[in-house]
Amino acid sequence: MDDAMLEIRGASVSYGAVRAVSDLDLTVGAGEVVAVLGANGAGKTTTLRAITALVPYAGSIRFDGDEVSAVGTEELARRGLIHVPEGRHIFGSLSVHENLLMGLPARAGRTGGYTVDDVYDLFPPLVALRNRSGWALSGGEQQMVAVGRALVAAPRLLLLDEPSLGLAPIVVAAVYRALREVAKTTPMLVVEQNTGAVLDLCDRGVVLADGRQVVEGTAAELGGRRDLLDSYLGQRVLDEAEA
């Protein structure tokens, strides 16, 4: 693809004898939001770890045309490939505001994007929590801080690992409402098990099962195949309407 920001061709990842991802083909173009859906153990996190050069892979994964394994994790972040990992990983001993400021170094001179004040506008619940320590936040508040910190880094491509994980439906709805706003300016690759939430955000997506791509399509096409998706995801997923 000519203008793909991220281009994955025939990528595979193994942990010893375990083949976690097999022969994955996936692209994210400028201005696109792409979802990777799958059940526990399907290979979603491993895919993000390969994209950020945290694990070795076979095949090709290019960000802006450069093979990510040759660029390396830290330089990829400096170039604007910003990863919000599963489990948020915010700093418990730092305040909300200090956590948000931690996004600034990864800006590496990029202008535009979100300021810390923009993040407070995006996530109003964080305003009153500005001085609260990270360890005293709820899961939803931590997720808002983790996404906010990533936005302060002025991502050129934002990678999100299960932003809905462990959150109540009403909190999932709030986080995804904000992500839909972010999507107007920032391309994303979002890994999820929550089909309902992510299909309202993405342009298109793929479903992984046992590390293999088993279904792909536009959000509308995937939305029309919910029974098939739910069977691959091994669960009835929450619909945002329940929130």
By the criterion CB under 6 A, which residues form the site for ligand ATP?
15, 18, 20, 38, 40-46, 86
Interatomic CA distance for residues 47 and 201, integer angstroms: 20
CA distance 113 to 190: 19
- Residue closer to ligand ATP by CB (options 100, 208) is 208
Instruction: Compute the half-sphere exposure of residue 196: CA atoms within 13 Å on the CB side of its CA.
Output: 13
CB of 144 to ligand ATP, least distance (A): 21
Buried b (16+ CB within 10 A) or exposed e, 155-175: bbbbbbbbbbbebebebbbbb
Q: Are 99 and 134 in contact (CB under 8 A)?
A: yes
Kindly tell me which of 14 and 95 has the beta carbon lying closer to ligand ATP: 14
SS3 48: helix
Comparing CB distances to ligand ATP, the nearer of 52 and 99 is 52
- Between CA 206 and CA 8 the distance in angstroms is 13
| 125: nearest Cα among 77, 74, 178, 73 | 178
Closer to ligand ATP by CB, 142 or 193: give it. Answer: 193
Cβ nearer to ligand ATP, comparing 37 with 219:
37
* Nearest distance from C-beta of residue 150 to ligand ATP, angstroms: 18
- Between 99 and 213, name the residue whose CB sits nearer to ligand ATP: 213
| Minimum gap (Å) between residue 20 Cβ and ligand ATP | 3
What is the DSSP pairing of strand 4-15 with strand 188-192? unpaired
**Closest approach of ligand ATP to the CB of residue 154, in Å:** 26
The CB-of-97 to ligand ATP minimum distance in angstroms stands at: 30
Is there a contact between 226 and 195 (Cβ–Cβ < 8 Å)?
A: yes
CA distance 76 to 19: 25
Radius of gyration of the chain (CA): 17
CB of 163 to ligand ATP, least distance (A): 12
Give min distance, CB of 71 to ligand ATP, in A.
Answer: 21
Nearer to ligand ATP, 15 or 65 (CB): 15
SS3 150: helix
